[in-house]
Amino acid sequence: MSATGVASVRRLLRGTVAHVPRDPFTAAGEALEAWDDGGLALADDGTIAAVGAWRDLRAAYPAADVDDRSGAWLLPGFVDAHVHYPQVGVLGGLGPRLLEWLEGRTWPHEARFADAAFARAEARQFLRLLARNGTTSALVFGAHQAVAMEAFFHEAAASGLRVTAGLVVGDVGLPEALRTTPELAFEEAAFLARRWHGRGWLRYAVTPRFSVSSTAALLAACGAVAREVPGTWVTSHLNETPDEIAVVRARFPDQRDYLATYEAAGLVGPRSVFAHDVHPSDDELTRLAAAGARVAHCPSSNHALGSGLFPLARHRRAGVGVALGTDVGAGTSLSLLAEATSAYVGQMLLGADGERLTGARLLWLATAAGAHALGLGDLVGDLRPGRAADVVALRPPPGSTLAAALTHAADGPSALATLVTLAREDAVEATWVAGEAVWCAAAAERLVG
Ligand SMILES: [Zn+2]
């Protein structure tokens, strides 16, 4: 058992505990730590006071209340590094590739978020679904309308989740309803950033949609917002498909590549997260690493839109931090475990160029890697004492394929691989942020089901 030994402990969680406190791509030996009959001691201040074998925890804290989740797995809460709030309604759009999918299906739906009441209801549902999928921290790609983002931030504050998000802006190549101007983009984004950045667990992310829908002036306005409100994050899309890259090249003939369009506006730094980067040049990877910028890998979306197979090994060799994102509308679910399974499949299809992804590596990508990408690596991402108690409990539904497969798992690592492959939102029994429940399947059944 490891413990901080300082905080007062009133509650113990019991279950099968697993986390990956060291980078499993570089750590010597097994990076996974797991206890078949284990537990967590939760301190009153919302942190983890101790983690380890159940008998040791019980002996150390004999007076604490016990929340017995035996039969369930207790993992660090998942971190989604790229997920679009206004796109739950466009999930499942099979057929088109990226640019056609955006124009035909997604942008018309995103235009509906000009209605504040609609936006607020969608925000509430979206955030509830994140928690229901075990996600406790997320870098959320917002909506194009300031009223929709004001509604979103209100709901995010109430959700108890750790949310970073911002107004999406673009001034060209978009339907009229979604277009803004550099002046208005600056004004609205700076207003929202001043109002919400740093409030509770909320943070603001400066969010140009992508350079396909931006002029240099719009991107410069985004850079100005990031300077105006210090500490804000930056997120956008990068190198998703060859067609998209060609449009950016034509729009910015003076820039040497896609990344340079963001660099010119001061948008590439240690608080920047770019989604996709399926088709980067070596030079772009070198510059991303030098800037300390991160990439959100969204394999379900890349595979569904046929965008390509993500060069994870090239990113790692270049020193670019990679986390996972569900992307949602173009992806297949809000489940980081589904995303991890997709990442695994994508790397296998790359053959010799692919990374071999074990259960421990996949869990790390879904948790600690995301925490690092979001600048939360000292706070969440694993279950070490001192971390915030952001935890998800996964219980195999009785009679499910997951339950059947787990009975045959030979050891901890193979059980974890089975869990990653098969556990989805119906297995999420409860989700906590800083020790407070943000999702409880039993309560939800009583309340709404
Ligand atoms: Zn996206």
pLDDT tens by residue, 401-417: 999 999 988 888 899 99
Alpha carbon of 210 to ligand 1 centroid (Å): 9
DSSP conformational letter for 256? S
| CA 253 to ligand 1 centroid distance, Å | 24
Using the mean position of ligand 1's atoms as its centre, give its distance from the Cα of residue 241 in Å.
Answer: 12
- Whole-number Å distance, alpha carbon 160 to ligand 1 midpoint, is 23
Q: How far is the CA of 407 from the centre of ligand 1 (A)?
A: 37
Q: Give the integer Cα–Cα distance in Å for 207 and 236.
A: 6
275 CA distance to ligand 1 centroid (A)?
6
Compute the half-sphere exposure of residue 47: CA atoms within 13 Å on the CB side of its CA.
15
For residue 53, report the distance from its CA to the centre of ligand 1, in Å: 40
CATH fold of the domain at 2-77+381-448: Urease, subunit C; domain 1 (2.30.40)
State in Å: Cα 427 to ligand 1 middle: 26
The CA distance from 153 to 136, in Å, is 16
Residue 93's pLDDT is 84
* Burial label, 210 (beta-carbon count in 10 A; 0-12, 13-18, 19+): buried
Query: Which residues lie near ion ligand 1 (Cβ < 5 Å)?
Result: 275, 327
Structure token digits, residue 8? 């007062």
d(CA 163, CA 204): 9
pLDDT of residue 449: 42
Residue 444: per-residue pLDDT: 77
Neighbours of 378 (CB within 10 A): 11
Determine the distance from the C-alpha atom of residue 7 to the mean position of all C-alpha atoms in its chain, rounded to a whole number: 29
CA of 137 to the centre of ligand 1 (A): 17
In the reported structure, the alpha carbon of residue 331 is separated from the centroid of ligand 1 by a whole-number distance in angstroms of: 9
Phi, psi of 145 (to 5 degrees): -110, 130
* CA pair distance 8, 412, nearest whole angstrom: 31
Q: Which segments of the chain have a pLDDT < 70? A: 5-7, 445-449
51 CA distance to ligand 1 middle (Å): 36
pLDDT at position 6: 60
Tell whether pTM > 0.95. Answer: yes
| Interval 14-68: pLDDT, tens | 999 999 999 999 988 889 999 999 999 999 999 999 999 999 999 999 999 999 9
Distance 173 CA to ligand 1 centre (A): 16
Distance 341 CA to ligand 1 centre (A): 19
Residue ranges of the chain assigned to CATH 3.20.20.140: 78-373
Q: How far is the CA of 55 from the centre of ligand 1 (A)?
A: 45
CA of 405 to the centre of ligand 1 (A): 33
CA–CA gap between residue 336 and residue 94 (Å, rounded): 20
Where in the chain is CATH 2.30.40.10?
2-77+381-448
Crossing angle (nearest 10°) for helices 116-132 and 146-159: 40
- Cα of 84 vs centre of ligand 1, distance in Å, is 6
Q: DSSP assignment of 360-422, as one string?
A: HHHHHHHTHHHHHHTT-TTTSSS--TTSB--EEEE-PPTT-HHHHHHTT--SHHHHHHHHHHH
Which residues are CB-neighbours of 306 under 8 A, at least 6 positions away? 97
The number of CA neighbours under 13 Å toward the Cβ of 105 is 18
Gap from CA of 354 to ligand 1 centroid (Å): 23
Give me the amino acid identity at 169. Answer: V
Give the distance (Å) from ligand 1 centre to CA of residue 396. 30
127 CA distance to ligand 1 middle (Å):
17
Rounded Cα gap, residues 297 and 62, in angstroms:
44
Calculate how far, in angstroms, residue 433's C-alpha sits from the geometric centre of ligand 1.
Answer: 25
In angstroms, the CA 112 to CA 143 distance is 10
CA distance 316 to 333: 26
Q: What is the CATH number of domain 78-373?
A: 3.20.20.140
**C-alpha atoms less than 13 angstroms from C-alpha of 352 in its C-beta half-sphere:** 0
Q: How many whole angstroms from 374 Cα to the centroid of ligand 1? A: 16
Give distance in angstroms: CA of 310 to centre of ligand 1. 15
Which phi and psi angles does 50 have, rounded to 5°?
-160, 155
Mean pLDDT score across all residues of the chain: 95
Token digits for 135? 């996600």
Q: How far apart are alpha carbons 397 and 424 in whole angstroms? A: 10
The burial of 96, by beta-carbon neighbours within 10 Å (0-12 exposed, 13-18 middle, 19 or more buried), is given as: middle
CA of 357 to the centre of ligand 1 (A): 23
Q: Is residue 203 a contact partner of residue 230, using CB atoms and an 8 Å limit?
A: no
Cβ neighbour number for residue 118 with a 10 Å cutoff: 14
How far apart are the CA of 209 and the centre of ligand 1, in A? 8
Residue 340 CA to residue 261 CA, distance in Å, equals: 30
Ligand 1 centre and the CA of 297: distance in Å? 10
Query: How far is the centre of ligand 1, averaged over its atoms, from the C-alpha of 237 (Å)?
Result: 6
Paired residues of 18 in beta bridges: 34
Q: How far does residue 87's CA lie from ligand 1's centre (Å)?
A: 10
Q: Report the alpha-carbon distance of residue 149 to residue 185 in Å, rounded.
A: 13
Give the CA angle between residues 348, 235, 337 to the nearest 5°.
35
pLDDT of residue 87: 92
**71: CA distance to ligand 1 center in Å?**
36
Residue 65 alpha carbon to ligand 1 centre in Å: 42
- What distance in angstroms lies between residue 305's CA and the mean position of ligand 1's atoms? 12
